[in-house]
Amino acid sequence: MNVHSIARMSGGSAYLWMAARARNALRRVLVFGIVGGVVFIAALIAFVLVPRNASRKALAVAAQMEARTDSSPAVAARDRYLAELTAVDSALDTARRAANPVPAPVIDTFPPAVRAQRDSLGAELTTLNRLIDRAENAPLPTSYRALAASPEVAADPKVRVLLDSLAGIERDRNAFGAVGTVDPVYLALTSRANAIGRSIQAIADAKRGEIRGKLALIRPTPATVVKPTITVDTAKLLTQRATVQQNYNTAARQVDQISSKNTRIDRETARARELANVGAPPWAMLAAAVVLALAVGFAASFGTELKRPHIADPREAELVTGARVLTVIKPPEVVVERSRRQADVEAPPLIDVVSESYRTLYLHIASVEASVPIVTITGDDPGIVATVAANLAASAAYEARSTLLVDVDPTTCSVASVLRIRPDPGLSGIITGGATWPEAIVPTTIGRDRPLDVLPSGTRRSGLPESSVVEEVKKELTRMQRRYDFIIIAAPTSYVQRSVSSIIPAPDVILCARIAHTTVGGLKTAVDSLRGADMRIHGLVLWDAEMPQLETREEMLGSTRQSEAFHPELATAP
């Protein structure tokens, strides 16, 4: 499963898958620790070096900065020239006003009766102007009648005759109704009405001219404007103003230059201050480095996990393999009572006969005992395979079942290391013909009185045995079913897959995997290869604890030689 598969998942499945990847990322201590440690150290170094570098830059910037220029003299000169310019402008305005005097206002010396007559004539003129403009803009009978109804026009006898004629024409025209607009008589009546209206308008124009003539006779005469003699020399003032204006412009430019220079110096000072202030308290730098290290370390671990996902929980293992998880091996609990007995103190530390996980696994095998007298424990981690197989055999022995534990891997001798027994001659001695079955089988005790027979792998590597030898060993293991209630074989996955050259006589296997360490693809490949080799997978055992610490093959050989040197009788003992 990769990142592209997440897009095809439902929301809940994608969330569970990502949560499993996050849990595995937290358990990848090696990647988390290495990346986080490197980032932590790099962050601390950066947090220490950056403020120092910033301080050096601040000093360099401060050394290159210019001194601020005092703009007070330039500002004072500019203000002085501005005041002189204002004074010259004031003198020029005074001279110009003297050269162009304001005309004296007209004094109205008419008596009140004449002023009243003038106001009345002005009101009549305003009314006539308004009515005449209306008649010009809207030449309709209503406009003409309103013009004729004004007191100034109505006093004329001709207007009354024209109004009567206009009323008669309107009556005759209204008799045509709505369809009269296309009749020649109707059009003639309309033209006649317009002519009468224009006549009324002409009488009104004449009346307006008469009123204007009367108003002209009673207007006051304006006073005579006498121009004074100019005694101020404006040319001199203009020359003085040009000189002052030039001085003012020069002073203003100087002030602007000083202001721009001081603004630039202020920006550089602020930048130097910011560079000098770069830094933080030691505890803040330490906290930031820790947070950054944790974030980057988790991101690296999570990215690695996304690239190569590992088994996170039993649900995922069952989903990938299609097989049931029989038990999950957790870290062993410390039982104080077991340390009181000498037999428990001297017992192998990896054997835990009170573990519920191994007891659950044994009960599953025991429930199908009739069809599974021989079961193979397999996996990619020899230490886990040997520990699970040895504890399964110990649980069977603890239940008073005669059990034989067989180890087929001479490269690690892991079962002998778990049970702390001698590895030789073992199965390799039987295959090479150097030992018989009674000589190779090592009896041991579980607890104080529970016997367990173990066939270790031996330390002599014999290569691929001949097919006749393999068949003979298979037959012997099959015959041993009459002597033992339970035969457990510990073998790596690569050995079980070689069904032709392996000594495993039965197809029943239990596959071991380690949570957060076994890849999803590796587990699926192992299951497919076992099923392709006609093996029957009864279930999975998931290891969720620290890796068992076993002696290496070289350490066991050294211990065996040392024991034989101190006890020569062990070298010849069966």
Q: State the pairing for strand pair 450-455/403-407.
A: parallel
Render 548-572 in DSSP notation, one character per residue. P----HHHHHHHHHHHHHH-THHHH
Render pLDDT for 80-102 as a digit per residue (tens, 0 to 9). 888 888 888 888 888 777 766 66
| DSSP state, residue 509 | E
CA angle 437, 441, 445 (to 5 degrees): 155
Low-confidence ranges of the chain (pLDDT < 70): 1-12, 47-66, 99-110, 177-182, 219-233, 272-281, 285, 334-346, 368-372, 461-464, 499, 553-574
CA 344, distance to chain mean position in Å, is 57
Residue 6: per-residue pLDDT: 45
Bridge partners (DSSP) listed for residue 450: 446
Residues 6 or more apart in contact with residue 441 via CB below 8 angstroms: 404, 453, 454, 455
In this prediction, residue 221 carries a pLDDT of 59
3-class secondary structure per residue, 42-71: HHHHHHHHHHHHHHHHHHHHHHHCCCCCCC
- Using the structure block, give the residue that is written with the tokens 């040197």: 565
At how many degrees (to 10) do helices 11-27 and 29-64 cross? 80
Q: How far is CA 540 from CA 30, 370, 512, in A?
A: 26, 20, 6
pLDDT score, position 389: 92
Distance linking the first and last C-alpha atoms of the chain:
52
What is the amino acid identity at position 266?
D
pLDDT of residue 17: 76
User: Could you give the domains of the chain?
Assistant: 1-104+253-309 (no CATH), 112-217 (no CATH), 347-572 (3.40.50.300)
Q: Which helix (H) or strand (E) holds 375?
A: strand 374-379
Separation between Cα atoms, residue 540 and residue 98, nearest integer Å: 119
